[in-house]
Structure 1
Amino acid sequence: MDLFNLPRTFTGGFVTGTTMANFSALAVARQWFGTQLEQDITADGLINLSLPVISATPHSSVLKSLAMLGLGRNNLITIPTLSNQREAIDVAKLKLFIEYNFQHQPFILVLNAGTANTADFDAIAEVMELKHTYNCWIHIDAAFGAFAACSSQYQHLLNGWEMADSIAIDCHKWLNVPYENACFFTRKEHFKLQFNQFKNSNVPYLENQLENFNFMNILPENSRRLKALPVLFSLLAYGREGYRYIVDNSIDLAQEFGNYIRKSRYFELLAEVRLNIVCFKVTAACDTAEFLQKLNKTGLVFMTPTTFNHEKGIRAAFVNWRTTIEDIKLVYSLIENIINSK
């Protein structure tokens, strides 16, 4: 909590990745929705219930979670973004939609704190004002964007997130711990919902544990590794100041690389560099897919393909604590060699 500047009004648990973090948080949200209509979904299922989930540009793991929870990928209600160059929700259109459709009904809203393509952030503080007027559960997918809280310049992007009902965070990205490690937080006032969602029932040999605090009763898995251990060691090793450096260094390098792309006649940014991701396309010499294949084939750098605003692009994400300006200079050299070889 201290690393993310979150109050002690949250409780949490470790899971395998952001997919399970989003799944777990939305499972608790589903149980909350049922209680608003006096129905126990964990006991009785989704009987005659249509559960509205709203978002703008949710990660695929959110859609996968909706599918696993029986809510349906295709039932997500999509609100437009601010523009074609943004992935952030248009709050004005969101408010109009809610006012017209859900003025007196409960609903679930999924926000982004760092989209996968461009690291864009929804206007969290502004959206949280909805909680004063409407009956809603607000979940934040903050897989890597949560670590903006460690930054000296970008922590404002998370203003208001302490009012969220649940948050999903990926530890194997900016926390740089081994793969298969994430966590989710829910407000302590929702603990009973979380317990009812995940508790073990009809197991005599666990009977003495059911009413006591036990992680097998508040998380999806009964059997699980101690995923908190590498996180603990990393926090002890680097501390708040260490992670502040790691995050700020990643952002600075992303800005540096973004400036290079912006000035080059061979490339074009598909979106502004908002945090640690540079999303761009090739405009000359060779097509984007061919260029990316040659770049990754060097074995010295790895970027991923993406599509943004219906255009094929390249995604360069900066999260590794070992990346330095010398690595960026190496990328420049590789890029120039590929371009000049045409």
Structure 2
Amino acid sequence: MKTYLENDWSEIDNLLDIIKNQGLSYLSTLSDRPTSIDQKEASREEGMPESGYGTKKVLEIFNERFEPVIVGSSGPRYWGFVTGGATPASIAGDWLTSIYDQNTQSTSGQGDVSAVVELETIKLMLDLLGLPQSFLGGFVTGATMSNFTCLAVARQWIGKEKGKDIAKDGISVPFKILTATPHSSSLKSLSLLGIGSGNIVKVKTMEGNREAMCMEDLENQILELHGEPFILISSGGTVNTVDFDDFKAIAELKKKYNFWWHIDAAFGGFAACADNTKHLVEGWEFADSITIDCHKWLNVPYESALFFIKEQYKILQVETFQNSNAPYLGDPLENFSYLNFLPENSRRLKALPAWFSLMAYGKNGYKEIVESNILLSQKFGKYIEDSNDFKLLAPVRLNTVCFTLKDNAYQDKVNEFLEKLNNTGKVFMTPTFYNQHKGIRAAFVNWRTSEKDIELVFNIMTEIISTLK
């Protein structure tokens, strides 16, 4: 084992060169990489070696067994799960993140100071999204953990409003959570936090094929709470139709009633980057917390999301996440450490890929990515709308197209159609159920996607539907 380590270290430049060339080969052929594949070969397991093989041999084993079944999920026609790609700059930042291998926590200079990079990246993101610098932010693994972090502080706020320290003493007071169309990650977070998704009070959605909450019903539900503080989870882009709650109206309600306002804007928040869509997030600066997912529309490698929580709640945040049982004394920002502000004690420098990409392409670069994806979604939606075989289930509001087979008699064939489509390996979309219909969802967030991809996919769809008639 020691010999293999020594040999690998002496050959590290050659090993990295081999990996670089393999990576370049993948990136240069990504547009042709299958989006779905048969993974039977990869399921064959090997036992733990006694003495190991060394890196070169292990790479050969990987290339034989696993590399052929790696799908093009970062490519231009992977339209499922709102999956972004990775810009060249973010790939550079991600490679350096692994090389430098920092445990990002503090800014003090004692040990690692990589939190300085993270705090600067947070400021860049706030600037990109047009949010005030009064938010304190941090990087977590994804939107689920971002929602968890925000709602954990909201839980502490509810407790303090009722004279309890929940982080210290546990949940001993009832909770009310008002929401209309929450993402499943918010429900999971409520479960993990012990609040329970059963404590949700569902607010009616607006009429007219909408997923946004009805403001009149929201206020009625608030009045029924008789002044009890509550948590409001609102949507900055719902999953199926990218609908937005009325943030300006909610901001007005916040002047009248006592509640914690959380916005799940995992990918919809990037509407702020485009001139024609930034009105969708007007008023979100008055929220108490916001979730943003970076491995979606920011186009950085996976496991990257942000939480934004108003700095005025920094004490509640520390009470929730402090890395000791001792009460926190003084201003937690004076001797800042992420150890006391978010769930993970061990965290890599997730901010670096985002910092590289933000600095490399700037506001105009991201404006172009967002506007291009919006235009492509509209064009794909127009293909659907003009088709004799497909129909839209909702208007194309931003970057997601929700559609189904046009003939209602074919509803039982929607899943079969999607399976055949995905099995081509040319595109990947996800199933959904919306407005009493089995549907299909295509999300456009990848910087590589072009109009040629739209045309290619729609032609394939037309060919497949003809076989089902």
Q: Give TM-score scaled by structure 1 length.
A: 0.95
CA drift of 1:296 comes to 0.8
Whether 1:24 and 2:126 are equivalent positions in the alignment is no
Corresponding position of 1:283: 406
CA drift of 1:341 comes to 3.1
CA drift of 1:200 comes to 1.1
Corresponding position of 2:287: 164
SS of structure 1 residue aligned to 2:309: strand
Whether 1:258 and 2:384 are equivalent positions in the alignment is no
Whether 1:324 and 2:450 are equivalent positions in the alignment is yes
| Equivalent-residue separation in structure 2 for 1:248 and 1:81 (angstroms) | 28
State how 1:142-221 maps to structure 2 within 5 Å.
142-202=265-325, 212-221=335-344
2:139 to 6, 14, 25: 14
Pick the structure with greater CA Rg.
Answer: 2
Residue identity opposite 1:273 in structure 2: V
Q: Are the counterparts in 2 of residues 210 and 217 from structure 1 also a CA contact under 8 Å?
A: no
| Equivalent-residue separation in structure 1 for 2:372 and 2:205 (angstroms) | 29
Of 323-332 and 84-93, the range deviating more from structure 2: 84-93
Whether 1:310 and 2:433 are equivalent positions in the alignment is no
CA drift of 1:83 comes to 2.6
Whether 1:292 and 2:418 are equivalent positions in the alignment is yes
SS of structure 1 residue aligned to 2:127: coil
| Equivalent-residue separation in structure 2 for 1:39 and 1:331 (angstroms) | 56
| Equivalent-residue separation in structure 1 for 2:388 and 2:249 (angstroms) | 38
| Equivalent-residue separation in structure 2 for 1:212 and 1:263 (angstroms) | 60
Q: Are the counterparts in 2 of residues 199 and 210 from structure 1 also a CA contact under 8 Å?
A: no
CA drift of 1:102 comes to 2.3
| Equivalent-residue separation in structure 2 for 1:145 and 1:2 (angstroms) | 16
Structure 1 residues 78 and 84, CA gap change in structure 2 (3 angstroms): farther
**Cα RMSD for the two superposed structures:** 1.5
Residue identity opposite 1:194 in structure 2: Q
1:37 to 133, 139, 162: 162
CA drift of 1:202 comes to 4.6
SS of structure 2 residue aligned to 1:7: coil
> Which string of whole-angstrom CA distances, capped at 9 and with x for unpartnered residues, describes residues 263-292 of structure 1?
112111111111000001012495211111
| Equivalent-residue separation in structure 1 for 2:369 and 2:333 (angstroms) | 41
> Which string of whole-angstrom CA distances, capped at 9 and with x for unpartnered residues, describes residues 233-256 of structure 1?
110121110000000000000011
Corresponding position of 2:180: 56
SS of structure 2 residue aligned to 1:88: coil
Whether 1:46 and 2:171 are equivalent positions in the alignment is yes
Residue identity opposite 1:31 in structure 2: Q
Residue identity opposite 2:201 in structure 1: I
Residue identity opposite 1:328 in structure 2: I
Unpaired stretches in structure 1, ≥5 consecutive residues: 204-208
Whether 1:334 and 2:457 are equivalent positions in the alignment is no
Matched residue pairs, number? Answer: 335
Corresponding position of 2:260: 137
Q: Are the counterparts in 2 of residues 103 and 134 from structure 1 also a CA contact under 8 Å?
A: no
Please list every run of at least 4 consecutive aligned residues from structure 1 whose deviation after the TM superposition is greater than 6 angstroms.
Answer: none
Residue identity opposite 1:193 in structure 2: L
> Which string of whole-angstrom CA distances, capped at 9 and with x for unpartnered residues, describes residues 279-331 of structure 1?
01012495211111111111111110001123110000000000011111111
RCO higher in 1 or 2 (8 Å CA, sep ≥ 6)?
Answer: 2
Q: Give TM-score scaled by structure 2 length.
A: 0.70
Say which structure is richer in strand. Answer: 1
| Equivalent-residue separation in structure 2 for 1:161 and 1:211 (angstroms) | 28
State how 1:72-87 maps to structure 2 within 5 Å.
72-83=196-207, 85-87=209-211
Q: Are the counterparts in 2 of residues 166 and 186 from structure 1 also a CA contact under 8 Å?
A: yes
Unpaired stretches in structure 2, ≥5 consecutive residues: 1-125, 327-331
Residue identity opposite 1:266 in structure 2: D
Corresponding position of 1:71: 195
Residue identity opposite 1:244 in structure 2: K
| Equivalent-residue separation in structure 1 for 2:461 and 2:325 (angstroms) | 61
Structure 1 residues 245 and 6, CA gap change in structure 2 (3 angstroms): same
